[in-house]
Amino acid sequence: MKTIIPALRKQRKLSQEELALAVGVTRQTITSLEVGKYTASLVLAYKIARYFGKTIEEVFDFSEATDFSEATDFSEVEEI
């Protein structure tokens, strides 16, 4: 998933470590988010977006996210 976290950090002159401390994760998590190796949980995405005064959609690009609305194979889904 693409993100504008590096640009937002640069605007505020923040290190990855400083952002990580502010939102309660490790520097490695911030690194992984920035290079697309990790997708933030909803809670973490909210914390990061709120920290920068943005919406989640402004910080994270969901255009490459999996679209489950067209899924047709529900054979492994348990019935409630």
Q: In degrees rounded to 5, what are phi and psi of residue 47?
A: -60, -45
Assigned domain for 70 exists: no
Domain membership flag for residue 76: no
Q: What is the pLDDT of residues 26-53, one digit of tens each?
A: 999 999 999 999 999 999 999 999 999 9
In the chain, how many domains are there? 1
Q: Which domain holds residue 16?
A: 2-65
Indicate the pTM of the whole model. Answer: 0.77
Q: How far apart are CA 24 and CA 77, in angstroms?
A: 34
Residue 31 lies in a domain: yes
Please report whether residue 41 resides in a domain: yes
Residue 77 lies inside a defined structural domain of this protein: no
What CATH number does residue 13 fall under? 1.10.260.40
